[in-house]
Amino acid sequence: MANLTLVIDDQVLQAARIKALQEGTSVNEICRAAIARYAAGARTDGAERVARFKAIAHQIAQQAVDGYVWPGREAFYDEVLSERMRGGAPADTAEPKRKASPRKPR
């Protein structure tokens, strides 16, 4: 296995280490998985992205009917990125990990 040296901002690396530790992995493993996906060409085309978006929108609408309140865009992005870094299922096929308390409409 080859070694790779990266130049990365100290604060970014520290934040990545903390998050990786919380998720039970390492920054090295996250980088290795990301590079493997990149090398394998794990990209989605426009039609697949639209289909995923529609599936996510349907899931959110169903959860609203069930009394679930979506925690917001940042929580959604965190969940999607977390799944991608672990190499797991896309967030649109997984059960939500967080339940938010109802928010008052703006």
| 98 and 52 fall within a common domain | yes
Higher-confidence residue: 13 or 64?
A: 13
Establish if 2 belongs to a structural domain: no
Conformational region of residue 23, where left means phi above 0, alpha means psi within -120 to 50, and beta covers everything else: alpha
| 70 and 101 fall within a common domain | yes
For 78-106, letters b (16+ CB in 10 Å) and e give bbbeebbbeeeeebbeeebeeeeeeeeee
Establish if 22 belongs to a structural domain: yes
Count: domains in the chain: 2
Domain residues for 51? 44-106
User: The pTM is what?
Assistant: 0.41
Residues 17-30 have pLDDT tens digits of 999 999 999 999 99
Residues 49-90 have pLDDT tens digits of 788 888 888 887 777 666 766 677 888 788 888 888 887 655
| 56 and 38 fall within a common domain | no
Amino acid at 33: A
